Amino acid sequence: MKLTPAQQAEFAEQGYLFLPSVFSPEEMALVTGELPKIFSETRDEVIREKGSASPRTAFFVQAWNPVFAMLARHPRLVEPGTQLLGSDKLYMHQFKVNAKAAFDGAVWQWHQDYATWYNDDDMPTAQAMNIALFLAEANEFNGPLMFIPKSHREGRLAAGHDTVTTSYPLWTADNDTITRLVAEGGIVAPKGPAGSMLLFHGNLVHASGSNLTPWSRWILYLSLNRCDNAIRRFKRPNWIANRDFTPIEMLPDDCLAAFARERHTAAA
C-alpha cells in the first residue's frame, strides 16, 4: 500500500497520519480472535498492569503467533514505512499489542518513543517510526492515543526515566515541556474502528489516559527502523528491543484472507 504525495506531506508536517478502515472486518475478525489466547499466556513477553492481572502489553507476538507473524510482514503495514523512512531495508525494532483493558487500562505518560530507543537501546538517529493498527474501536472515552501535532520537529527532548507510575518504564517528558508544546500545537486524538491505522514519527510526543469504560482498546504497534540505523546497546531483552536486523520481506496483500480460508478448510 503506497501513500500519496499529499499523505506523505501531511505526515512530514504534522508528525502523524490517520488512515481509517484499512483492513476489512473479516481480516480483523481473524486477528482479534487470537487476542484472548495471547493475553492468557503466562510468559515474560506478556506484561500485566501494575497491581492487576489485566494485560498491559504483549511483546514480540509475531514470534509465537502465526496470525501476528503475517501482520509483521503485511504490505499495508510495512510499505508505508519504507516510503516515510526512505529505505526499502527496514527491520522490526519492536512489535507489541498494547491492551488498554476495559475498566483497568492504565495511563501511558507523555513521551517520545525515540527517547526510550535512544536512552535504552542507543539507536543512532530518529529514522524509525510506529505503524499502529487499531484492533478495537478507539473512541473518546476508552483511552485513545493523544498526540501533540508538530512536536516531532523539536527533535529528541530531555526526558526523565519513570519506573514508578506504571508496570512499564518510560523516558517521559516533564509537565512544563508538555504545557509549552500543547500551547503551540494543541492535542489531537485520532479515533476510528478496528482496522484503522495510525502512522507516527518516533519523536512525536504522545500519551493516553486510563480506560474507565467497558470497552477494551487494543492497538498493535510495529516499530520499524532502518537497517542502517540499527541499535548499538543490548541491555533490554531481544523481545523488547530486537537484535535481528534482517530486512523485512513483505507477504502478499491477501495473506490474512488466504490463511482464514485454509483454517476454515482444515476445520471442515
pLDDT tens readout for residues 160-199: 888 877 667 788 999 999 999 999 999 999 999 999 999 9
Q: Which residues are within 8 A (CB) of 253 and not within 5 positions of it... i.e. 6 or more apart? A: 1, 74, 75, 76
Answer yes or no: is pLDDT of 205 > 80.
yes
Answer yes or no: is pLDDT of 130 > 90.
yes
pLDDT band at 265 (very low <50, low <70, confident <90, very high): confident
Closest to 19 (Cα-Cα) out of 28, 29, 8, 27 = 8
Q: Where are the alpha helices (DSSP H) in the chain?
A: 5-14, 25-32, 35-40, 66-71, 75-85, 113-121, 175-185, 255-267
Range in 105-114, 118-127, 247-256 with the lowest mean pLDDT: 105-114
Closest to 251 (Cα-Cα) out of 27, 60, 94, 97 = 27
Distance in angstroms (rounded) separating the CA atoms of residues 111 and 125: 17
Strands of 160-162's sheet in order across? 145-147, 206-208, 108-111, 170-172, 160-162
215 DSSP β-pair partners = none
Distance in angstroms (rounded) separating the CA atoms of residues 268 and 257: 17
Answer yes or no: is pLDDT of 32 > 90.
yes
Query: What is the reported pLDDT for 58?
Result: 94
Query: What is the reported pLDDT for 166?
Result: 67
CB atoms within 10 A of CB 122: 14
pLDDT tens digits, one per residue of 212-233: 999 999 999 999 999 999 999 9
Query: What is the reported pLDDT for 167?
Result: 62
Say how many CA atoms lie within 13 Å of 158 toward its Cβ. 4
Query: What is the reported pLDDT for 49?
Result: 85
Answer yes or no: is pLDDT of 268 > 70.
no
Output the average pLDDT for the chain. Answer: 94
Query: What is the reported pLDDT for 150?
Result: 97
Query: What is the reported pLDDT for 168?
Result: 74
Stronger pLDDT, 243 or 104, i.e. the higher one = 243
Answer yes or no: is pLDDT of 266 > 90.
no
pLDDT band at 102 (very low <50, low <70, confident <90, very high): confident
The mean per-residue pLDDT over the stretch 119-148 comes to 96
pLDDT band at 85 (very low <50, low <70, confident <90, very high): very high
Contact 94, 59 (CB under 8 A): yes
- Residue 13 is placed in which grid cell? 508536517
Query: What is the reported pLDDT for 106?
Result: 79
Range in 54-68, 101-115, 120-134 with the lowest mean pLDDT: 101-115
Q: Which fold has domain 5-267?
A: Jelly Rolls (2.60.120)
243 φ/ψ angles, rounded to the nearest 5 degrees: -105, 5
Answer yes or no: is pLDDT of 151 > 80.
yes
